[in-house]
Amino acid sequence: MPSSTLSQVLPSTQLRALVRLGEADETLGVWARGCARPRRLVAAGRRLALSQDLGFLLRRCQRTVVRVSGVLHAMSADRLIGWRTLQIAVGSPVLPGLDAWRILYPSLRVAGHRITVPIGRGSAEEVLALCAADRMAVLGSWIDYQMLTTHGDSG
What confidence score (pLDDT) does residue 26 get?
Answer: 95
Looking at the structure, do residues 27 and 90 belong to the same domain, yes or no?
no
In 111-146, which positions are buried (b, 16+ CB within 10 angstroms) versus exposed (e)?
eeeebbbbbeeeebeebbebbeeeebeeeebeeebb
Answer yes or no: are the C-beta atoms of 2 and 36 closer than 8 Å: no
Q: Is residue 20 part of a domain?
A: yes
What confidence score (pLDDT) does residue 148 get?
Answer: 62
Looking at the structure, do residues 13 and 72 belong to the same domain, yes or no?
yes
What confidence score (pLDDT) does residue 97 get?
Answer: 80
What confidence score (pLDDT) does residue 43 get?
Answer: 93
What confidence score (pLDDT) does residue 96 get?
Answer: 78
Could you read off the pLDDT tens digit of each residue along the chain, which spans 155 residues? 345 678 999 999 999 999 999 998 999 999 999 999 999 999 999 999 999 999 999 999 999 999 988 899 999 999 999 999 999 999 987 887 888 899 999 999 999 899 999 999 999 999 999 999 988 999 999 998 887 654 333 33
Length of the chain: 155
What confidence score (pLDDT) does residue 153 get?
Answer: 35
Please provide residue 44's backbone torsions phi and psi, each rounded to the nearest 5 degrees. Answer: 50, 40
How many separate domains does the chain show?
2
Looking at the structure, do residues 122 and 73 belong to the same domain, yes or no?
no
| Cα 41 to Cα 124: distance, rounded to the nearest angstrom | 33
| Residue 132 DSSP SS3 | helix
For the whole prediction, is pTM greater than 0.75?
yes
Domain of 75, in residue numbers: 3-80
Answer yes or no: are the C-beta atoms of 30 and 41 closer than 8 Å: no
Please provide residue 74's backbone torsions phi and psi, each rounded to the nearest 5 degrees. Answer: -95, 115
What confidence score (pLDDT) does residue 124 get?
Answer: 95
Q: Is residue 51 part of a domain?
A: yes
List the Cα angle 84/98/114 in 5-degree steps: 50
Please provide residue 50's backbone torsions phi and psi, each rounded to the nearest 5 degrees. Answer: -110, 135
Beta-carbon-side half-sphere exposure of residue 132 (alpha carbons within 13 Å): 7
